[in-house]
Amino acid sequence: MTVQTIGDVVFGDEITPWQPDTSLQATRSFAHAVGYSGSGRFEDHSKARAQGLPGALVPGIMGMGFLTSMIHRWAPRGKIKYIDTVFRAPVLADHEHTVTAVVTDIDEENGEVVLDLTIQNEQEETRVFGTATVQLPAAS
């Protein structure tokens, strides 16, 4: 499901859940691009475990990227004005996670929508949560 204008948005709607690529190859590329590589914590399970971690991690801001990507697919003409992500617990690389969002507020006058965001692991434990404010074109 996608929305084109503020008129298409329904309060309480859930954006189609999505399973992002949490593979080591993806986390390694991301970590390299943002300058986080080298320690192994985002690149190598055994090196991460040697640091006391349960395995290699998905960088926290990559979770923000999963969420912005989902919002952009849902609202191809939308502009994210604000996104806040709380890193509640580690997101492990090579584990399936589900990214979801729910519409919690609609401001038709200003063309803005507020979304509640979550990233959950296979046990349905919330690892990342947050909110986003998205601007959409006015209904025609």
Report DSSP letters for 53-107, one per residue. Answer: -SS-B--HHHHHHHHHHHHHHH-TT-EEEEEEEEE-SPPBTTS--EEEEEEEEEE
- Residue 53, interface with another protein (CB under 8 A)? no
Site for another protein (CB under 8 A): which residue of 69, 104, 110, 126?
69
Least Cβ distance, residue 70 to another protein (angstroms): 7
Q: What is the DSSP letter of 138?
A: P
Please report whether residue 65 would count as binding another protein according to CB under 8 A.
Answer: yes
Task: Tell me, residue by residue from 31 to 50, as one string, x for binding to another protein by CB under 8 A and - for no binding.
Answer: -xxxxx--------------
Nearer to another protein, 85 or 106 (CB): 85
